[in-house]
Amino acid sequence: MSREIEFAITTIPGLEDVAAQECGGLGITIEATSSGFIRCRGKKENLTRLLLFTRTVLRVLDPIFQGNFQSQGDLEKHLFRFSWERFLRPWQTFKILTIGRSSLASDRFLTLRIKDSIVDRLSLKQGKRPSVDTKNPDVTLTLFLGDSNVTVYRDAAGKPLSFRGYRSQAGEAPLNEVIAAGLCNILGWQGRGVFIDPMCGSGTIAIEAALISKGLYPQRSRPQGFAISHWPDKKAFGWQDSAEFSPEPLHGEFCIIAADRDPKMIKYARQNARRAGVEMDIHFVHSPFNQLHERTAGIRSGLSSSGENHQEFILMNPPYDKRLNLQDDPGLYTDIGDTLKQQWSGAVAGVFTANGNQAKHIGLRTDRKITIKNGPLDGRFLIYTLY
Ligand SMILES: C[S@@+](CC[C@H](N)C(=O)[O-])C[C@H]1O[C@@H](n2cnc3c(N)ncnc32)[C@H](O)[C@@H]1O
Protein backbone atom coordinates (compact mmCIF):
# COMPACT_ATOMS: atom_id res chain seq x y z
CA MET A 1 0.00 0.00 0.00
CA SER A 2 1.44 3.41 -0.91
CA ARG A 3 1.35 6.24 1.56
CA GLU A 4 -0.86 9.29 1.03
CA ILE A 5 0.51 12.35 -0.72
CA GLU A 6 -0.73 15.90 -1.18
CA PHE A 7 -1.57 17.08 -4.67
CA ALA A 8 -3.94 19.51 -6.41
CA ILE A 9 -6.44 19.58 -9.21
CA THR A 10 -7.82 22.44 -11.25
CA THR A 11 -11.29 22.79 -12.73
CA ILE A 12 -13.51 25.45 -14.28
CA PRO A 13 -14.45 28.11 -11.65
CA GLY A 14 -18.03 27.22 -10.68
CA LEU A 15 -17.51 23.45 -11.00
CA GLU A 16 -15.49 23.01 -7.79
CA ASP A 17 -18.29 21.13 -5.97
CA VAL A 18 -18.81 18.71 -8.84
CA ALA A 19 -15.07 18.09 -9.23
CA ALA A 20 -14.69 17.60 -5.46
CA GLN A 21 -17.55 15.09 -5.51
CA GLU A 22 -15.82 13.17 -8.33
CA CYS A 23 -12.55 13.14 -6.37
CA GLY A 24 -14.41 11.93 -3.24
CA GLY A 25 -15.82 9.04 -5.30
CA LEU A 26 -12.23 7.91 -5.98
CA GLY A 27 -11.31 7.94 -2.30
CA ILE A 28 -9.54 11.31 -2.35
CA THR A 29 -9.80 13.73 0.58
CA ILE A 30 -10.41 17.42 -0.14
CA GLU A 31 -8.19 19.70 1.97
CA ALA A 32 -9.09 23.17 0.64
CA THR A 33 -10.94 24.74 -2.28
CA SER A 34 -10.53 28.10 -3.97
CA SER A 35 -11.68 29.37 -7.36
CA GLY A 36 -10.97 26.58 -9.85
CA PHE A 37 -8.31 25.03 -7.58
CA ILE A 38 -8.64 22.14 -5.11
CA ARG A 39 -5.92 20.85 -2.77
CA CYS A 40 -6.32 17.11 -2.15
CA ARG A 41 -4.77 14.21 -0.31
CA GLY A 42 -4.81 10.60 -1.43
CA LYS A 43 -2.83 7.54 -2.44
CA LYS A 44 -0.28 8.00 -5.24
CA GLU A 45 -2.09 5.65 -7.60
CA ASN A 46 -5.20 7.83 -7.33
CA LEU A 47 -3.46 10.39 -9.55
CA THR A 48 -3.78 8.05 -12.51
CA ARG A 49 -7.44 7.31 -11.69
CA LEU A 50 -8.16 11.05 -11.52
CA LEU A 51 -6.66 11.53 -14.96
CA LEU A 52 -8.59 8.74 -16.56
CA PHE A 53 -11.94 8.63 -14.84
CA THR A 54 -12.99 12.13 -13.80
CA ARG A 55 -15.11 14.23 -16.16
CA THR A 56 -14.79 17.69 -14.59
CA VAL A 57 -11.08 17.91 -13.71
CA LEU A 58 -8.84 20.00 -16.00
CA ARG A 59 -5.38 19.33 -14.57
CA VAL A 60 -3.85 17.04 -11.93
CA LEU A 61 -0.82 18.61 -10.25
CA ASP A 62 1.93 16.96 -8.19
CA PRO A 63 3.91 19.44 -6.01
CA ILE A 64 7.67 18.89 -6.37
CA PHE A 65 9.16 22.08 -4.93
CA GLN A 66 7.65 24.43 -2.36
CA GLY A 67 8.56 26.80 0.40
CA ASN A 68 8.40 30.25 1.96
CA PHE A 69 11.33 32.49 1.12
CA GLN A 70 12.63 35.64 2.80
CA SER A 71 14.18 37.12 -0.32
CA GLN A 72 14.87 36.49 -3.96
CA GLY A 73 18.40 35.36 -3.03
CA ASP A 74 17.03 32.86 -0.52
CA LEU A 75 14.71 31.39 -3.18
CA GLU A 76 17.49 31.18 -5.77
CA LYS A 77 19.75 29.35 -3.31
CA HIS A 78 17.09 26.65 -2.87
CA LEU A 79 16.24 26.53 -6.57
CA PHE A 80 19.79 25.98 -7.74
CA ARG A 81 20.33 23.21 -5.16
CA PHE A 82 17.13 21.38 -5.97
CA SER A 83 17.48 17.94 -7.62
CA TRP A 84 15.41 18.63 -10.76
CA GLU A 85 16.95 15.52 -12.35
CA ARG A 86 14.50 13.40 -10.31
CA PHE A 87 11.64 14.77 -12.37
CA LEU A 88 13.06 15.52 -15.79
CA ARG A 89 15.49 13.74 -18.13
CA PRO A 90 18.02 15.84 -20.09
CA TRP A 91 16.61 14.67 -23.44
CA GLN A 92 13.05 15.71 -22.46
CA THR A 93 11.48 19.06 -23.33
CA PHE A 94 9.63 21.21 -20.79
CA LYS A 95 7.46 24.28 -20.37
CA ILE A 96 6.62 26.45 -17.33
CA LEU A 97 3.16 27.98 -16.79
CA THR A 98 3.07 30.73 -14.16
CA ILE A 99 0.06 31.70 -12.04
CA GLY A 100 -0.16 34.40 -9.32
CA ARG A 101 2.21 37.09 -8.08
CA SER A 102 5.04 37.30 -5.59
CA SER A 103 6.63 40.17 -3.67
CA LEU A 104 10.06 38.49 -4.15
CA ALA A 105 10.37 39.43 -7.85
CA SER A 106 8.31 39.73 -11.03
CA ASP A 107 6.63 36.56 -12.26
CA ARG A 108 8.64 36.74 -15.50
CA PHE A 109 11.91 36.93 -13.64
CA LEU A 110 11.02 34.06 -11.30
CA THR A 111 9.90 31.87 -14.22
CA LEU A 112 13.23 32.56 -15.91
CA ARG A 113 15.22 31.71 -12.78
CA ILE A 114 13.38 28.41 -12.37
CA LYS A 115 14.06 27.59 -16.01
CA ASP A 116 17.79 28.43 -15.54
CA SER A 117 18.01 26.35 -12.37
CA ILE A 118 16.57 23.29 -14.19
CA VAL A 119 18.83 23.66 -17.24
CA ASP A 120 21.99 24.32 -15.16
CA ARG A 121 21.32 21.46 -12.75
CA LEU A 122 20.74 18.87 -15.47
CA SER A 123 23.71 20.13 -17.41
CA LEU A 124 25.92 19.79 -14.31
CA LYS A 125 24.63 16.38 -13.17
CA GLN A 126 23.91 14.69 -16.50
CA GLY A 127 26.04 16.60 -19.01
CA LYS A 128 23.15 17.70 -21.22
CA ARG A 129 20.72 20.61 -21.16
CA PRO A 130 16.99 19.94 -21.57
CA SER A 131 15.23 22.38 -23.89
CA VAL A 132 12.05 24.39 -23.64
CA ASP A 133 9.12 23.57 -25.93
CA THR A 134 6.08 25.77 -25.37
CA LYS A 135 3.83 23.89 -27.82
CA ASN A 136 4.33 20.19 -27.22
CA PRO A 137 6.48 19.69 -24.11
CA ASP A 138 7.11 16.29 -22.50
CA VAL A 139 6.92 17.85 -19.03
CA THR A 140 4.71 20.80 -18.05
CA LEU A 141 5.55 22.57 -14.79
CA THR A 142 3.05 24.94 -13.19
CA LEU A 143 4.52 27.65 -10.99
CA PHE A 144 2.16 29.02 -8.32
CA LEU A 145 3.33 32.26 -6.75
CA GLY A 146 2.01 33.51 -3.42
CA ASP A 147 3.34 36.59 -1.63
CA SER A 148 6.55 34.98 -0.42
CA ASN A 149 5.83 31.35 -1.19
CA VAL A 150 6.53 29.44 -4.35
CA THR A 151 5.20 26.03 -5.39
CA VAL A 152 6.24 24.18 -8.52
CA TYR A 153 3.84 21.43 -9.62
CA ARG A 154 4.38 18.95 -12.40
CA ASP A 155 1.23 18.53 -14.43
CA ALA A 156 0.17 14.90 -14.94
CA ALA A 157 -2.25 15.74 -17.77
CA GLY A 158 -0.14 17.94 -20.08
CA LYS A 159 -2.84 19.34 -22.34
CA PRO A 160 -5.89 20.06 -20.12
CA LEU A 161 -8.28 17.13 -19.71
CA SER A 162 -11.01 19.07 -21.55
CA PHE A 163 -9.17 18.07 -24.74
CA ARG A 164 -10.92 14.73 -25.03
CA GLY A 165 -9.90 14.29 -28.68
CA TYR A 166 -13.33 13.51 -30.18
CA ARG A 167 -14.18 17.00 -31.41
CA SER A 168 -12.46 17.66 -34.69
CA GLN A 169 -15.50 19.37 -36.22
CA ALA A 170 -16.87 22.39 -34.37
CA GLY A 171 -19.26 25.27 -34.99
CA GLU A 172 -18.65 28.90 -34.05
CA ALA A 173 -19.08 28.46 -30.33
CA PRO A 174 -18.28 24.93 -29.10
CA LEU A 175 -18.65 24.37 -25.38
CA ASN A 176 -15.68 23.25 -23.27
CA GLU A 177 -16.10 19.48 -22.70
CA VAL A 178 -15.48 19.81 -18.95
CA ILE A 179 -18.27 22.41 -18.69
CA ALA A 180 -20.59 20.12 -20.70
CA ALA A 181 -19.91 17.19 -18.34
CA GLY A 182 -20.34 19.46 -15.29
CA LEU A 183 -23.72 20.74 -16.55
CA CYS A 184 -24.96 17.15 -17.06
CA ASN A 185 -23.93 16.35 -13.48
CA ILE A 186 -25.54 19.47 -11.96
CA LEU A 187 -28.79 18.85 -13.87
CA GLY A 188 -28.93 15.39 -12.25
CA TRP A 189 -28.16 13.24 -15.32
CA GLN A 190 -26.86 9.90 -14.10
CA GLY A 191 -27.15 8.22 -17.47
CA ARG A 192 -30.69 6.86 -17.23
CA GLY A 193 -33.88 8.30 -18.74
CA VAL A 194 -34.36 10.65 -21.69
CA PHE A 195 -31.72 13.33 -22.38
CA ILE A 196 -32.20 16.03 -25.01
CA ASP A 197 -29.84 18.74 -26.25
CA PRO A 198 -32.11 20.73 -28.60
CA MET A 199 -29.32 23.14 -29.71
CA CYS A 200 -26.48 20.65 -29.94
CA GLY A 201 -24.02 22.50 -32.24
CA SER A 202 -21.01 20.20 -32.48
CA GLY A 203 -22.64 17.76 -30.05
CA THR A 204 -20.46 18.21 -26.94
CA ILE A 205 -23.28 18.03 -24.36
CA ALA A 206 -24.99 14.99 -25.92
CA ILE A 207 -21.63 13.20 -26.34
CA GLU A 208 -20.69 13.78 -22.67
CA ALA A 209 -24.20 12.60 -21.65
CA ALA A 210 -23.74 9.42 -23.73
CA LEU A 211 -20.27 8.74 -22.27
CA ILE A 212 -21.89 8.95 -18.80
CA SER A 213 -24.72 6.59 -19.83
CA LYS A 214 -22.33 4.01 -21.20
CA GLY A 215 -19.87 4.29 -18.30
CA LEU A 216 -17.11 5.05 -20.82
CA TYR A 217 -14.09 6.83 -19.47
CA PRO A 218 -13.95 10.34 -20.95
CA GLN A 219 -10.35 10.32 -22.19
CA ARG A 220 -10.62 7.22 -24.41
CA SER A 221 -10.31 9.22 -27.67
CA ARG A 222 -7.48 11.50 -26.45
CA PRO A 223 -4.74 11.24 -29.08
CA GLN A 224 -2.11 13.34 -27.28
CA GLY A 225 -1.90 11.02 -24.26
CA PHE A 226 -0.89 12.24 -20.79
CA ALA A 227 2.26 13.95 -19.53
CA ILE A 228 2.55 11.40 -16.72
CA SER A 229 3.69 8.83 -19.33
CA HIS A 230 6.99 10.85 -19.50
CA TRP A 231 7.55 10.87 -15.73
CA PRO A 232 10.58 8.81 -14.61
CA ASP A 233 8.58 7.57 -11.58
CA LYS A 234 5.24 7.01 -13.36
CA LYS A 235 4.85 3.41 -12.13
CA ALA A 236 4.66 4.59 -8.52
CA PHE A 237 1.54 6.52 -9.55
CA GLY A 238 -0.09 3.39 -10.98
CA TRP A 239 0.54 4.46 -14.58
CA GLN A 240 0.82 1.67 -17.15
CA ASP A 241 1.60 2.63 -20.73
CA SER A 242 -0.59 0.03 -22.37
CA ALA A 243 -3.38 -0.41 -19.84
CA GLU A 244 -6.84 -1.28 -21.16
CA PHE A 245 -9.81 0.28 -19.42
CA SER A 246 -13.13 -1.43 -19.87
CA PRO A 247 -16.50 0.25 -19.43
CA GLU A 248 -18.41 -0.16 -16.19
CA PRO A 249 -21.43 -2.48 -16.54
CA LEU A 250 -24.63 -0.82 -17.80
CA HIS A 251 -27.83 -0.74 -15.76
CA GLY A 252 -31.11 0.70 -16.95
CA GLU A 253 -32.17 2.39 -20.14
CA PHE A 254 -31.40 5.69 -21.77
CA CYS A 255 -32.40 7.66 -24.84
CA ILE A 256 -30.26 10.61 -25.95
CA ILE A 257 -31.37 13.11 -28.59
CA ALA A 258 -29.12 15.77 -30.17
CA ALA A 259 -30.98 18.31 -32.33
CA ASP A 260 -30.17 21.56 -34.10
CA ARG A 261 -31.92 23.75 -36.64
CA ASP A 262 -28.69 23.86 -38.70
CA PRO A 263 -28.16 20.63 -40.73
CA LYS A 264 -24.40 21.28 -40.94
CA MET A 265 -24.17 21.12 -37.15
CA ILE A 266 -26.04 17.80 -37.10
CA LYS A 267 -23.45 16.43 -39.52
CA TYR A 268 -20.58 17.68 -37.33
CA ALA A 269 -22.18 16.38 -34.13
CA ARG A 270 -22.61 12.94 -35.68
CA GLN A 271 -18.95 12.83 -36.83
CA ASN A 272 -17.74 13.88 -33.38
CA ALA A 273 -19.95 11.26 -31.70
CA ARG A 274 -18.49 8.61 -34.02
CA ARG A 275 -14.99 9.58 -32.91
CA ALA A 276 -16.11 9.38 -29.26
CA GLY A 277 -17.56 5.90 -29.85
CA VAL A 278 -21.17 6.92 -29.07
CA GLU A 279 -22.70 7.64 -32.50
CA MET A 280 -25.09 4.69 -32.20
CA ASP A 281 -26.21 5.87 -28.74
CA ILE A 282 -27.51 9.27 -29.86
CA HIS A 283 -30.51 10.09 -32.07
CA PHE A 284 -29.64 13.05 -34.33
CA VAL A 285 -32.60 15.21 -35.32
CA HIS A 286 -32.65 18.22 -37.64
CA SER A 287 -35.31 20.49 -36.12
CA PRO A 288 -35.92 23.88 -34.54
CA PHE A 289 -36.59 23.58 -30.80
CA ASN A 290 -40.25 24.59 -31.04
CA GLN A 291 -41.01 21.55 -33.28
CA LEU A 292 -38.79 19.05 -31.50
CA HIS A 293 -41.38 17.69 -29.06
CA GLU A 294 -43.65 16.53 -31.85
CA ARG A 295 -40.82 15.27 -34.06
CA THR A 296 -39.25 13.13 -31.33
CA ALA A 297 -42.45 11.69 -29.85
CA GLY A 298 -41.77 8.30 -31.47
CA ILE A 299 -38.14 8.16 -30.30
CA ARG A 300 -39.03 9.11 -26.75
CA SER A 301 -41.98 6.74 -26.48
CA GLY A 302 -39.67 3.87 -27.54
CA LEU A 303 -38.10 4.08 -24.10
CA SER A 304 -41.44 4.31 -22.25
CA SER A 305 -42.70 1.10 -23.92
CA SER A 306 -40.74 -0.82 -21.25
CA GLY A 307 -43.53 0.29 -18.88
CA GLU A 308 -41.25 2.50 -16.73
CA ASN A 309 -41.80 6.23 -16.44
CA HIS A 310 -38.59 7.92 -17.55
CA GLN A 311 -37.56 11.39 -16.43
CA GLU A 312 -36.81 13.77 -19.33
CA PHE A 313 -33.75 16.02 -19.03
CA ILE A 314 -33.33 18.96 -21.44
CA LEU A 315 -29.95 20.69 -21.48
CA MET A 316 -29.22 23.50 -23.92
CA ASN A 317 -26.54 26.06 -24.68
CA PRO A 318 -28.27 28.63 -26.92
CA PRO A 319 -26.38 31.39 -28.78
CA TYR A 320 -25.35 34.25 -26.43
CA ASP A 321 -25.07 37.01 -28.99
CA LYS A 322 -21.27 36.94 -28.55
CA ARG A 323 -19.63 34.44 -30.92
CA LEU A 324 -23.06 33.60 -32.48
CA ASN A 325 -25.31 36.62 -32.88
CA LEU A 326 -29.03 36.87 -32.28
CA GLN A 327 -29.82 39.49 -34.94
CA ASP A 328 -31.67 36.97 -37.09
CA ASP A 329 -33.60 35.59 -34.15
CA PRO A 330 -34.22 38.31 -31.53
CA GLY A 331 -37.12 36.34 -30.00
CA LEU A 332 -35.05 33.18 -29.38
CA TYR A 333 -35.04 33.31 -25.57
CA THR A 334 -38.79 34.13 -25.38
CA ASP A 335 -39.40 31.18 -27.70
CA ILE A 336 -37.25 28.91 -25.49
CA GLY A 337 -39.36 29.87 -22.44
CA ASP A 338 -42.67 29.41 -24.29
CA THR A 339 -41.65 26.05 -25.78
CA LEU A 340 -40.43 24.71 -22.44
CA LYS A 341 -43.62 25.81 -20.70
CA GLN A 342 -46.11 24.67 -23.34
CA GLN A 343 -44.55 21.43 -24.58
CA TRP A 344 -42.22 19.92 -22.00
CA SER A 345 -44.18 19.67 -18.75
CA GLY A 346 -42.69 17.06 -16.42
CA ALA A 347 -39.14 17.62 -17.71
CA VAL A 348 -36.18 19.13 -15.87
CA ALA A 349 -34.50 21.78 -18.03
CA GLY A 350 -31.12 23.52 -17.85
CA VAL A 351 -30.13 26.52 -19.95
CA PHE A 352 -26.46 27.56 -20.02
CA THR A 353 -25.93 31.09 -21.33
CA ALA A 354 -23.59 34.01 -20.80
CA ASN A 355 -26.26 36.54 -21.75
CA GLY A 356 -28.04 37.53 -18.52
CA ASN A 357 -30.28 40.08 -20.26
CA GLN A 358 -31.56 37.57 -22.81
CA ALA A 359 -32.02 34.92 -20.10
CA LYS A 360 -34.66 37.15 -18.46
CA HIS A 361 -36.83 36.67 -21.59
CA ILE A 362 -37.20 32.96 -20.81
CA GLY A 363 -39.72 34.16 -18.24
CA LEU A 364 -39.87 30.99 -16.10
CA ARG A 365 -39.09 30.68 -12.39
CA THR A 366 -35.66 29.11 -11.85
CA ASP A 367 -35.09 26.39 -9.24
CA ARG A 368 -31.35 27.12 -9.15
CA LYS A 369 -28.90 29.54 -10.77
CA ILE A 370 -25.19 28.72 -10.83
CA THR A 371 -22.36 30.87 -12.18
CA ILE A 372 -19.77 28.92 -14.17
CA LYS A 373 -16.90 30.63 -15.98
CA ASN A 374 -16.97 30.14 -19.73
CA GLY A 375 -13.57 31.44 -20.83
CA PRO A 376 -13.60 35.14 -19.98
CA LEU A 377 -17.42 35.22 -19.68
CA ASP A 378 -19.59 34.59 -16.63
CA GLY A 379 -21.83 31.77 -17.75
CA ARG A 380 -25.16 31.27 -15.98
CA PHE A 381 -26.67 27.83 -15.59
CA LEU A 382 -30.42 28.22 -15.05
CA ILE A 383 -32.35 25.15 -13.91
CA TYR A 384 -36.14 24.80 -14.22
CA THR A 385 -38.59 22.11 -13.16
CA LEU A 386 -41.45 22.23 -15.67
CA TYR A 387 -44.95 21.54 -14.34
C1 LIG B 1 -23.81 28.04 -28.81
S2 LIG B 1 -24.18 26.90 -30.06
C3 LIG B 1 -24.16 25.37 -29.21
C4 LIG B 1 -22.77 24.87 -29.03
C5 LIG B 1 -22.69 23.44 -28.54
N6 LIG B 1 -23.03 23.32 -27.14
C7 LIG B 1 -21.31 22.86 -28.86
O8 LIG B 1 -20.62 22.39 -27.95
O9 LIG B 1 -20.89 22.91 -30.01
C10 LIG B 1 -25.88 27.15 -30.30
C11 LIG B 1 -26.53 26.25 -31.34
O12 LIG B 1 -27.95 26.49 -31.27
C13 LIG B 1 -28.49 26.32 -32.54
N14 LIG B 1 -29.81 26.98 -32.54
C15 LIG B 1 -30.07 28.31 -32.40
N16 LIG B 1 -31.41 28.52 -32.37
C17 LIG B 1 -32.00 27.30 -32.46
C18 LIG B 1 -33.35 26.86 -32.45
N19 LIG B 1 -34.35 27.73 -32.33
N20 LIG B 1 -33.61 25.54 -32.54
C21 LIG B 1 -32.58 24.65 -32.66
N22 LIG B 1 -31.28 25.00 -32.69
C23 LIG B 1 -30.99 26.32 -32.58
C24 LIG B 1 -27.45 26.93 -33.46
O25 LIG B 1 -27.60 26.42 -34.79
C26 LIG B 1 -26.13 26.52 -32.79
O27 LIG B 1 -25.62 25.34 -33.36
For 305-370, the DSSP string reads TTSPPPPEEEEE----SSSS--TT-TTHHHHHHHHHHHH-TT-EEEEEES-HHHHGGG----SEEE
Ligand 1 centroid to residue 253 C-alpha, Å: 26
Ligand 1 site, CB within 6 A: 170-171, 173-175, 198-199, 201-202, 204-205, 260-262, 265, 288-289, 317-319, 324, 332
Atom of ligand 1 nearest to the CA of 202: 9
CA 15–ligand 1 middle distance (angstroms): 23
Residue 224 has pLDDT above 90, yes or no: no
Given a cut of 60, whether residue 19 has pLDDT beyond it is: yes
Ligand 1 mean position, distance from CA 260 (Å): 6
The residues spanned by each domain of the chain are 4-155, 177-385
Domain 4-155 matches domain 177-385 at the CATH topology level: no
Cα 333 to middle of ligand 1, angstroms: 12
Confidence band, pLDDT 50/70/90 cuts, at residue 375: very high
Whether pLDDT at 248 is above 70 = no
Lowest mean pLDDT, pick from 44-58, 63-77, 202-216, 236-250: 236-250
Residue 97 has a pLDDT of: 93
Mean pLDDT within 162-185: 92
* Ligand 1 center–CA 324 separation, angstroms: 9
**Mutate which of 169, 260, 266, 335 for ligand 1 pocket (most atoms within 8 A of beta carbon):** 260
Taking a C-beta distance cutoff of 8 angstroms, is the pair 68, 145 a contact? no
CATH topology of domain 4-155: VC0802-like (3.30.2130)
Is the pLDDT at 168 greater than 90, yes or no? no
pLDDT band for 341, please (50, 70, 90 cuts): very high
Q: What is the per-residue pLDDT for 238?
A: 86
Fold category of 177-385 in CATH: Rossmann fold (3.40.50)
